[in-house]
Structures are given as C-alpha cells and as structure tokens.
Amino acid sequence: MRPIVIAAGGTGGHFFPAEALAAELVRRGRRIALMTDARSGGLSSAVFEGRERFVLSGAGIAGRGALRAATAVAALAAGTGQARAIRARLE
C-alpha cells in the first residue's frame, strides 16, 4: 500500500496538526510518511516514531534581503526536487 505523505513545516503550528492527522490515519490502518524540513529536529512524536520521515531542504523567504531570498528560493527548489524523487520511490 502506498503511504499517504503528510508534508508539514518544522514549526509547531504546522507539525502538531500534521501529527493529529497522522494519528487518525494510523488509527484507520493507513501507512503514512512525513516530509518536513530541518526545523522539525527538536519536535518528536510517537505517531511518527518508526515511520518513514524525510527531511527536505527549505528556507523561509519573508523578511530577507535579495541575496538571502535568492538563496532561500534555491533551497526551496532543491527541496521540491527531493520531494519529487522521494515520492517516485514511494510509489
């Protein structure tokens, strides 16, 4: 069975709703995988313990100068490529 991939940024405002969704999907017997960014390193969850978890490149853009924004866009593009490759492997 292909997993349902849950994508959530690494902050609590994104991670905790993803955790609630994952818990319900697991309760229903579904296979799940998490795609997140490096900021989620300090967040742990029993729901995601032992499940597929992929950390992608990423960065925020808001409030940055032009050079930092360009670097962030490059990181987001890299993360998009990583996500596509992972998704292809999961199928």
Q: How confident is the model at residue 41 (pLDDT cuts 50, 70, 90)?
A: low
Residues 17-40: tens digit of each pLDDT: 999 999 999 999 999 999 988 776
For 82, the domain range is 4-90
Count of structural domains within the chain: 1
Q: How confident is the model at residue 82 (pLDDT cuts 50, 70, 90)?
A: very high
Mean pLDDT value across residues 74-91? 94
Instruction: Measure Cα distances from 77 to 28, 36, 55, 72, 82 in Å.
Output: 34, 14, 14, 9, 9
Residues 52-81: tens digit of each pLDDT: 889 899 888 888 788 898 999 999 999 999
What distance in Å separates the CA atoms of residue 70 and residue 50, rounded to the nearest whole number?
35
| CATH code (residue 84) | 3.40.50.2000
